[in-house]
Amino acid sequence: MQYSTHRPPIFKVILLGESGVGKTSLYQRFRARDIPLTQCTALALDSYQYNRQFPVGPQSKPIQVELWDTANMERMHSLTDNYFRETTAALLVYDIADSQSLQRLSYWRNDLKYHSDRTLTFLVGNKVDLPPDTYEDGQTTIEHARKVMATNFEDFLGAYEVSAKEDYHVEEMFHKIGQTLWENYKDERESTGTRSLPEVPEGMGTIKLGKDNKGTRLRLSVRKENCCY
């Protein structure tokens, strides 16, 4: 594929988690590399999705990651089918200073599986600039999250601990996620005998990666840009 004449493939990534865990702050870091000085909520933003290009692979070929924010719809548990449609991956975000936000991820995980059981998932602990919450057994939220990651490795492709406020490891996380999406896509292409990335002409959009019923295969679909949105 000649990237000079064709758009790079777009991987749609959504943010999931309880209100207040910092999803919009992560989105703002992704979008503008800075948190607004005003106390603006997700509902006040002029958009809830944003594309950024990342170099991947040994030749640093570009892909685009399209990040979607919930726009505070999670407060009413009213995320629409449109939010989940054609999603490549989901970032399940919790607040390390709030153990309840980690426990509530099971709800968002089930909601994600209801809409798409093939979406790839990453675990993200935000607000590492704050002291972690502690469970009754003395285990911190971070320690518990790492245990969840270890026992549910097949469901998560990676786990990250970041601070959107301090911009700690946020950019590094997004780069690694982009690289992981590319590697999973490339492995699937190789397993099916297709060695090159298909051309994505202007007006076509998202590369869809997902697990099959056994959780081991990934499948590809391409949606038209601006269709059904």
Per-residue confidence in pLDDT tens, the chain, 229 aa: 334 446 788 899 999 999 999 999 999 999 886 555 454 544 444 568 999 999 998 888 899 999 999 887 777 666 788 899 999 999 999 999 999 999 999 999 999 999 888 899 999 999 999 999 999 888 999 999 999 888 887 789 999 999 999 999 999 999 999 999 999 877 776 766 654 444 444 444 444 555 444 444 444 444 434 333 2
The answer for residues whose C-beta is within 8 angstroms of residue 56's C-beta and 6 or more apart is 62, 63, 178, 179, 182, 183
Domains detected in the chain = 10-224 (3.40.50.300)
Structure tokens at 26: 């992560």
Q: Give which of 138, 185, 227, 224 is closest to 1, Cα–Cα.
A: 185
DSSP for residue 134:
B
The number of C-alpha atoms within 13 Å of 73 and in the hemisphere containing its C-beta is 16
- pTM for the full predicted model: 0.77
